[in-house]
Structure 1
Amino acid sequence: MKSQPIGFLDSGIGGLTVVKEALRQLPNESIVYLGDQARLPYGPRPASEVAHFVQQITGFLLAQNVKAIVIACNTATAAALPILQAKLSIPVVGVIDSGSQSAVAMSQAQQIGVIATAGTISSHAYHRAITKLSPQATISGLACPEFVTIVENNQAETPETAKTVAEKLSYFKPGQIDTLILGCTHFPLLQPAIEAAVGPNVQLVDSGVETVTKIKQLLTDQKLLAPSNHVASHAFYTTGATAPFDEIAANWLQLPGLTAKHIAVDGLVAYGDLEEGEPTDEA
């Protein structure tokens, strides 16, 4: 069980920002990652549809004998984390609670901004999580679906992108926020442009860092960490085209020989929704 991989899922390549942190904090752990690029974006879709997609991907990951699952997507976390936690006996974590905890701890004035997909913003998941931790916090949310498209099209570093980001984030007036949650795992790939847009007085929160810290603690508590002499192996899958995925993933993760495999959407749909009490530690 200890040597089994950790499963990561996202609507596209954004979750690779969480994987990068996992490679740093958990170098002995094997990883199976699936990006559902064929059905991207998740943000505008109904939460119930996203929940079905997440359960299908989870079925695939369970077939790879994962010992834990990280929902490395804010929209998917909002739509499906409680479902997966109720149905699975292995550890399952999402990114919203972790990001909220970091923001509350970092913010001096408890003036917190959130940028995310339309689905995450409309779910009010961050608002609920932050308010639970800090009832006095002022929360300002902004949907930035175009940022996902920019990242998926590998245009994160262009001058046009810097201009687009600056114009979009001008929504936040000077002094309105002192902390900004990157509420989509695609957004850390735009961090230089976001930092330039909001200025040095606003701290950025990448929820992926705290999410990996959380899964590391869960694996430690349950004695599921891979042994220190375990040689990690990684597998990457996408429902989209593999060449663009490989280009972005290789550049971001710096893993030699990274080659993603294609899996058809029909292959995921076949897994259907999870049954109650699915995979156990015997998997």
Structure 2
Amino acid sequence: MTAAGFDSTPHSETTESGAQPSAPSIGVFDSGFGGLTVLRSLLERIPSASYTYLGDTARLPYGAKSQATVARYAVSSAKFLVEEQGAEYLVIACNTASALALDEIRASVSVPVLGVVETGANAAQASSRTGDVLVVATAATVESHAYAAACRERGLRALEKACPLLVPLVEEGWIDHPVTREVLSIYLSELMQQTHDAGLMPDTLVLGCTHYPLLRPLIERSVPASLHVIDSAEVTAAQVAEALCAPKDTASAVKPASRFFATDSVSKFRALGSRFLGRPIEGVELVNLGG
């Protein structure tokens, strides 16, 4: 097993007959659309894989639910991807589910599972020299203190900041809108003041929400140049590739096979999801996972 929790042997070595093994089948799960930024990075990083994406749009937002409810929803989604769609590896591209239900998900399926909170913390550990890390995320993720705990396990101090208005602004398509720039400026100014008050010397900023990669250029222009901004989608894809021993081949002519499922609002998923994925989503299948 690798540090990411993936057993890469079946896909990194040839078989006894000398034939190359089949491409990995990767399931990606989120409560909605944001996880498509993770899939976007995976498609670029591991084009030889086949992908199944599930957005549990009927039951979002997870952030307003109890831990037990989030775990129940996430487990049913994980089982759908593994038991019904044949996913061999599972990426939890949902910060709330990664923060509140990762242990339950891992206990419910027989394949390796990777969550975006741990990938972000791993990347922060590799990046930071001062040991002080900043995290911007949704209110639910911040209230869980999952990033703070994951960073503490890695010998880092983390200061978390909730930025609840950013998700609806991204979903509205206001990626570089004056309103978004102003809201972001307020959040980051508050974060810098909190950093000063706490006596921290951060050199790393983790984007702890899968919507935020769409705002990365704006965020990088808004923070000191000394802060290294970590894109949770990008580092998750890199850590999956490392675990699977997949070569970096962004120029491959292989067109990844992808299927998309949503538990509600298929037309909205197709329209909005295409923005997150950076390419058209031709077909989305409706699936009923119950209450």
Fold conserved (TM > 0.5)?
yes
2:125 maps to 1:101: no
Mark the runs of 5 or more structure 2 residues left unpaired by the alignment: 1-20, 197-201, 247-251
Q: What corresponds to 1:18 in structure 2?
A: 38
> Distance between the aligned counterparts of 1:152 and 1:16, measured in 2?
12
Counterpart in the other structure of 1:57 = 77
TM-aligned CA distance change 1:48 to 1:2, over 3 Å: farther
2:100 corresponds in structure 1 to 79
- Secondary structure of 1:38's partner? coil
C-alpha root-mean-square deviation of aligned residues, in Å?
2.4
Q: What displacement does 1:173 show?
A: 2.0
Correspondence for 1:225: none
**Alpha-carbon shift at residue 254 of structure 1 (Å):** 4.0
Question: 1:158: which partner in 2?
Answer: 177
- CA–CA distance in structure 2, aligned partners of residues 229 and 173 of structure 1: 44
Q: 1:199 to 1:71 in 2, by over 3 A?
A: same
Contact 2:46 2:241 in 1 (8 A): yes
Would the alpha carbon gap of residues 4 and 172 (structure 1) be closer, same or farther in structure 2, given more than 3 Å must change? closer
Amino acid aligned to 2:178: P
Q: CA deviation at 1:268?
A: 0.8
Match of 2:8 in 1: none
Structure 1 spans left out of the alignment, 5+ residues: 222-227, 271-283
The corresponding residue for 2:17 is none
Establish whether residue 197 from structure 1 lines up as the match of residue 225 from structure 2. Answer: no
| Distance apart, 1:129 and its partner CA | 1.3
Name the counterpart of 1:218.
Answer: 243
Letter in 2 for 1:217: E
- SS for the counterpart of 2:289 is helix
- How many angstroms apart in 1 are the aligned matches of 2:64 and 2:212? 17
Q: Does structure 1 conserve the Cα–Cα contact (< 8 Å) formed by 2:135 and 2:205?
A: yes
Higher RCO by CA contacts (8 Å cutoff, separation 6 or greater)? 1
The offset of 1:3, in angstroms, is 4.4
CA 1:140–1:239 in 2, change beyond 3 Å: closer, same or farther?
Answer: same
Report the TM-score when normalising by structure 1.
0.82
**In the superposition, relative to structure 1, how do residues 33 and 200 fare at CA in structure 2: closer, same or farther (>3 Å)?**
same
What letter matches 1:140 in structure 2? L
User: How far apart are the structure 1 equivalents of 2:87 and 2:274?
Assistant: 23
Residue 65 (structure 2) pairs with residue 45 (structure 1): yes
Paired residues of 2:27 and 2:53 also in contact (CA < 8 A): yes
Kept after mapping to 1: 8 A contact 2:121/2:150? yes
Q: For 1:35, give the aligned amino acid.
A: G
Aligned pair count reads 259
1:168-216 Cα offsets, whole Å, 9 max, x none, are 2211226743211111111111212322332323211112223223323
State the 1:257 CA deviation: 5.5
Q: TM-score, normalised by structure 2?
A: 0.80
Q: Which of residues 269, 274, 283 is equivalent to 2:290?
A: 269
Does the CA contact (< 8 Å) of 1:4 and 1:65 recur in 2? Answer: no
Identical counterparts, % of pairs: 36
Do 2:205 and 2:230's aligned partners in 1 also have CA atoms closer than 8 Å? yes
Change (3 A) 1:11 1:157: farther
